[in-house]
Amino acid sequence: MVSIATAMPQRNGATTESVTMTSRRGIRLAGVLHLPETTRDPMELPAVVLCHGMESTKEGTKHQALAARLTALGYVCLRFDFSYVGESGGRFEDLTISGEVEDLGGAVDYLAARGTRSFGVVGSSLGGTVAVLFAGSDPRVKALVTIAAVALPLGIVARMDPAAVAAWRESGVRVAEGGGTLRRDFLDDLERIDVLGAARRLTAATLVTHGEDDHVVPVGDAHALFAALPEPKALAITPKCDHRYSDPAHLANLLDRTVGWIATHLPLGTRTDLGRPERVGRRDTCPRCHGDLRTCGHCRFYDPRLADACREPHAERVLDKARANFCDYFSPAEAPPVAEASASPRDALERLFKRR
What pLDDT does 274 receive? 45
The answer to whether the CB of 64 falls within 8 A of the CB of 6 is: no
Q: Given a cut of 70, is residue 338 above it in pLDDT?
A: no
Q: Is 97 left (phi over 0), alpha (psi -120 to 50) or beta?
A: alpha
3-state secondary structure of 302: strand
Section 301-324 average pLDDT? 79
Cα separation, 190 vs 212, whole angstroms:
24
Average pLDDT over residues 203-223: 96
Residues 6+ apart with CB under 8 A from 267: 46, 336
For residue 337, tell me if it sits in a domain.
Answer: no
Give the phi and the psi of residue 10 in degrees, each rounded to 5: -110, 150
Is residue 285's pLDDT more than 80? no
Residue 294 domain flag: no
> Rg for the chain (alpha carbons), in Å?
20
Residue 269: per-residue pLDDT? 66
User: Is position 213 within any domain?
Assistant: yes
When mean pLDDT is compared across 20-29, 41-50, 326-335, the lowest value belongs to 326-335
Q: Is 253 within 8 Å of 234 (Cβ atoms)? A: no
The values of phi and psi at residue 268, to 5°, are: -75, -30
Question: Domain for residue 35, yes or no?
Answer: yes
Residue 309 lies in a domain: no
Domain housing 230: 4-265
pLDDT per residue as tens digits for the range 144-157 = 999 999 999 998 88
pLDDT for 356:
38
Phi then psi dihedrals of residue 73, to 5 deg: -75, -20
Q: Which of 220, 211, 276 is nearest to 238 (CA)?
A: 211
Contacts of 4 (CB under 8 A, 6+ apart): 61, 64, 65
**38 belongs to a structural domain:** yes
> CA triplet 206, 318, 211: central angle to 5 degrees?
45
Q: What is the CATH number of the domain that holds 184?
A: 3.40.50.1820
pLDDT number for residue 6: 34
In a domain, 162, yes or no: yes
The answer to whether residue 86 is domain-embedded is: yes
Compute the distance between CA of residue 41 and CA of residue 335 in angstroms, rounded to an integer: 26
Total count of domains within the chain: 1
